[in-house]
Amino acid sequence: MIERYTLPEMGRVWSDQHKYELWCRVETLVLEAHAAAGRVPADVVEPVRAAPPPTPERVAEIEETTQHDVIAFLTAWADNTSPRSAAAYVHHGMTSSDLLDTALAVQLTEATDLLLARMDRLVAVLRDHALAHRDTIKVGRTHGVHAEPDVWGHRVADIAFAAARSRDRLRAARERVGVVAISGAVGTYSLIDPSVEVDVARALDLRPADASTQVVLRDSVSEWVAALAIIATVCETVALEVRHGQRTEVRELSEAFGSGQKGSSAMPHKKNPIRSERIAGLARVVRAAVVPVMEGIPLWHERDISHSSTERVFLPDAAITTDYLLHLTTGLVENLVVDVQRMRDNLESTGGLIYTSSVLLEVVERGLSREDAYALVQSSAMETWNTGTPFRETLRARAAASGVALDEARLDEICRPERYVQRLGPLFDRLAALS
């Protein structure tokens, strides 16, 4: 991922330097387990443990010749080991994927812990924003068209619960990807005792794989990426709401616009929802990772490496982008400008059409068939759409022409927006308990 969208902590997790540090750690843990069991000389452990990780530049230089990154790493690290002869026992009984998959599991869990912390923050910010606007009346829209009265806090609450569910999915995915596989060339432990895998897993606070061939099957990694894609799309849900709300014709919501900020090189009046649009664009990047990573599940027999190049691109990019998306979305909500009066004005802009559902039931309860009641209310509504005449007036005239008596006091009660949201209390109680 380009530097523009990479935050420091997550960038560090996926850096080559950190990767080689993890490789050194895994190899050292394996060597310690071997030495403790008496399989290798005990005096080789300390020189290996003390050897500094090789630099990415040195590994890349050797890989130009070997065309094998693990061998290049082992060679470069051996060059850093004194005496170099101690390095002869590094990678003892292992295959490359024992190292790669185990270190990757550490990276995935480290990345997940950073993401979970950001998810906690986003859930809290969404919850608090929704509770602050539990009484902010707005029009609810379906298909982009005014439907019935709602409150802004209800819409945000829905997204807050979705964010919490997304966090739960990611937490579950962390458990699945946090596995150690040190089982040899085809996963049969032919040259390495299974106890080594157990010891390394314990030291890394992970768990041994239930089974592996030369690699761990990629269903769990695919689940993890899918969890990130859902998180990214929940972030986009927030952004889409803001993008709509900031349209000139709507103007109910807007991103914070700082002193000195510019919206357009050509049009000085512009205040554009750039943060929301960036969120929408980057969410596509995360979703794009799902299928390529999932296609790494079916490999030839005990292993091929068709998954490897895909994962080197998409796993870091998905994690880094999701991290940045969570940062953007949290800031968006924290600084969101809500125009309460504009929401009320828009609610009333259709002349009362938002009350047709309740009026329909009221007319049915006064004795009309549902078909006749629907025809009366719809024809009145269409006249309001076409002429701009308030709905109560068109309804009154058409009801009189049809011989239908209306209870004006009852219609006054029906056409009160607060009536539509009076049963949302338990929802906000549930939201207040969300953590």
Contact indicator for 235, 326 with CB cutoff of 8 Å: yes
Question: What pLDDT shows up at residue 264?
Answer: 83
**Average pLDDT, stretch 358-380?**
94
| Integer Cα distance of 280 and 276 in angstroms | 6
Note the pLDDT tens digit of each residue in 254-306. Answer: 998 888 888 888 888 888 999 999 999 999 999 999 999 999 988 889 888 87
DSSP 366: T
| Integer Cα distance of 285 and 2 in angstroms | 12
Contact indicator for 421, 149 with CB cutoff of 8 Å: yes
| Integer Cα distance of 217 and 296 in angstroms | 8
Note the pLDDT tens digit of each residue in 407-430. Answer: 999 999 999 999 999 999 999 999
Note the pLDDT tens digit of each residue in 155-203. Answer: 999 999 999 999 999 999 999 999 999 999 999 999 999 999 999 999 9
Domain 95-256+268-349 has CATH 1.20.200.10: yes
* Residue in the structure block whose two tokens are 């929408």: 280
Q: Is 327 a catalytic residue?
A: no
Question: What pLDDT shows up at residue 306?
Answer: 79
| Integer Cα distance of 103 and 14 in angstroms | 11
Is the model's pLDDT at 397 over the cut of 90? yes
Strand pairing class (337-338; 253-254):
antiparallel
Question: What pLDDT shows up at residue 409?
Answer: 94
**Helix/strand number for the chain, H first, E second:** 18, 6
Domain range 1-92, its CATH number among 3.40.50.620, 1.10.275.10, 3.40.50.12780, 1.10.3720.10 = 1.10.275.10
**Cβ-based neighbours of 314, under 8 Å, separated by 6 or more:** 225, 288, 289, 292, 293
Neighbours of 363 (CB within 10 A): 21
Question: What pLDDT shows up at residue 326?
Answer: 98
Q: How far is CA 261 from the centre of its chain?
A: 28
Note the pLDDT tens digit of each residue in 103-149. Answer: 999 999 999 999 999 999 999 999 999 999 999 999 999 999 999 99
221 by Cβ neighbours in 10 Å (0-12 / 13-18 / 19+) ranks as: buried
Indicate which residue of 85, 190, 264, 369 is catalytic.
264
Domain boundaries, the chain: 1-92, 95-256+268-349, 351-422
164 by Cβ neighbours in 10 Å (0-12 / 13-18 / 19+) ranks as: buried
CATH topology of domain 351-422: Ribonucleotide Reductase Protein R1; domain 1 (1.10.40)
Question: What pLDDT shows up at residue 265?
Answer: 84
Whole-model pTM: value is 0.94
Here the tokens at position 25 are 């750690």
Indicate which residue of 143, 265, 301, 435 is catalytic.
143
Looking at every residue in the chain, the average pLDDT score rounds to 95
Q: Is 143 a catalytic residue?
A: yes
| Integer Cα distance of 336 and 430 in angstroms | 23
Is the model's pLDDT at 1 over the cut of 80? no
Contact indicator for 289, 225 with CB cutoff of 8 Å: yes
**Average pLDDT, stretch 370-382?**
96
